[in-house]
Copies of this chain bind each other. A is one copy, B any other.
Amino acid sequence: MAAVTTTARARARAEITTEIKAAARRQVAESGAASLSLRAVARELGMVSSNVYRYFASRDDLLTALIIDAYDAIGSAAEEEAAVGRRTFEQRWIGLARAIRGWALDHPHDYALVYGSPVPGYRAPTDTVSPATRVTLVALRLLADAVRSGEIRADAVVPMPRPLHADLAGIRAGGLASANLSDEVLARGLQAWTQLFGTISFEMFGHLQNVIHDYDAFFDHQMRRAARTIAGREGT
């Protein structure tokens, strides 16, 4: 009757915590994170605003919970995609990129919450670091696999300055998946990674309006190019 049995109170607490987060997410989806309001959340759930404080110590705490959830959602979307087997590196990379973009299109405000400009006055605590890493680990694993299979060839190397070598060595040491990735491959990976999020952000934040009309075609093609840049072969 300790860890296993849950009291009615504990169950109710868990459910209501979830409901609060869901209402908050709905509110963020409607009008953005900056205008997230505890009172509005309470109103939507038909409870008095002061009661929300039984579940979250402050508005910032609630925001943090949303950010963590968002990172986790992207992470698991990416992991799920990565689990699909028997594909070439290029197919897997495009699949990963599409999964991330698809999530962003489905949750534009959540995307803005984590990859857009920081919410003013809000300082992210360190709790958000590890969920933020999940999606990156998927990418690193993908690179590692493709190096192992020979699909990435890094014989052509762009020389880089010493301090950058040091930073890349840090990535290699930190990420479990990245132990066999050379500096050249990591640098290419970062090139593609920033291109991926740059492309999604441009689309989401309206910088391609009246320029690109078929976003799907544009994105797929650009990600195909990115895959080739990583693999080290350009053109056909």
| A residues neighboring B (CB under 8 Å) | 31-35, 112-113, 115-121, 124, 129, 132, 155-161, 163-164, 166-167, 170-171, 187-188, 190-191, 193-199, 201-202, 205-207, 210-214, 217-218, 220-222, 224-226, 228-229, 232, 234-236
Q: How far is the CA of A25 from the CA of B172 in the complex (A)?
A: 41
Contact B206 A202 (CB under 8 A): no
Contact B198 A163 (CB under 8 A): no
Residues in B neighbouring A35, C-beta threshold 8 A: 34, 120-121
15 further contact pairs, Cβ within 8 A, besides A163-B217, A164-B217, A191-B222: A31-B120, A34-B34, A116-B116, A132-B207, A155-B235, A158-B236, A164-B214, A167-B213, A170-B211, A170-B213, A194-B195, A194-B198, A195-B195, A197-B201, A198-B198
Closest 8 CB pairs of A and B: A156-B235, A198-B198, A116-B117, A32-B120, A112-B117, A194-B198, A163-B214, A34-B34
Q: How far is the CA of A195 from the CA of B187 in the complex (A)?
A: 12
Residues in B neighbouring A196, C-beta threshold 8 A: 198
CB within 8 Å for A197 and B202 given contacts A31-B120, A158-B228, A164-B214? yes
Q: How far is the CA of A67 from the CA of B197 in the complex (A)?
A: 23
Residues in B neighbouring A190, C-beta threshold 8 A: 218, 222
Give the residue of B31, B124, B206, B226 whose beta carbon is less than 8 angstroms from that of A191.
B226
Q: How far is the CA of A33 from the CA of B120 in the complex (A)?
A: 8
CB within 8 Å for A187 and B32 given contacts A117-B116, A198-B199, A214-B164? no
CB within 8 Å for A212 and B167 given contacts A124-B206, A195-B198, A229-B229? yes
Contact A161 B212 (CB under 8 A): no
Q: How far is the CA of A162 from the CA of B14 in the complex (A)?
A: 51
Residues in B neighbouring A167, C-beta threshold 8 A: 211-214, 217-218
Contact B199 A194 (CB under 8 A): yes
CB within 8 Å for A205 and B118 given contacts A194-B199, A217-B163, A236-B158? yes
In the assembled complex, the CB of A101 is this many whole angstroms from the nearest CB of chain B, namely: 12
